[in-house]
Amino acid sequence: QKEVEQDPGPLSVPEGAIVSLNCTYSNSAFQYFMWYRQYSRKGPELLMYTYSSGNKEDGRFTAQVDKSSKYISLFIRDSQPSDSATYLCAMSYLSGNTPLVFGKGTRLSVIA
């Protein structure tokens, strides 16, 4: 079993839809949870991060972490064609300068 599981999609939604992206993980030691957006042939761009369980909101984006279920989500409200990209979840055990464990990424297409 991989440490982090993420459905690669592709996921196609109409403009304005609410998008739900999810990851599950196996190691309960993960404490820091990040979401990255990656456009084709580019490096990942940090969207937001969450520490431990709970919700965090930033504009149209909401990140949720449920440590009891080892399940994290990213919601995108009022999705736009410019949101079309691959979304990667990433996790870490420690707060310091440590490498991240990534999911495969979910390819999202928002259709105008």
- Name the CA dihedral angle for 46, 48, 52, 57, rounded to a multiple of 10 degrees: -170
Binding flag, residue 11, another protein (CB under 8 A): no
**CA separation, residue 76 to residues 16, 52, 66, 93, 109 (Å):** 9, 20, 18, 26, 12
- Mode of pairing for the β-strands spanning 19-25 and 54-58: unpaired
The residue range among 13-21, 56-64, 68-76, 93-101 that interacts with another protein, by the rule CB under 8 A, is 93-101
The residue range among 12-20, 63-71, 77-85, 99-107 that interacts with another protein, by the rule CB under 8 A, is 99-107
Q: How many residues sit close enough to another protein to count as binding (CB under 8 A)?
A: 28
Structure tokens at 4: 């982090």
Determine which residue in the list 11, 53, 100, 109 makes contact with another protein, applying CB under 8 A: 100
Binding flag, residue 8, another protein (CB under 8 A): yes
The residue range among 12-20, 61-69, 71-79, 86-94 that interacts with another protein, by the rule CB under 8 A, is 86-94
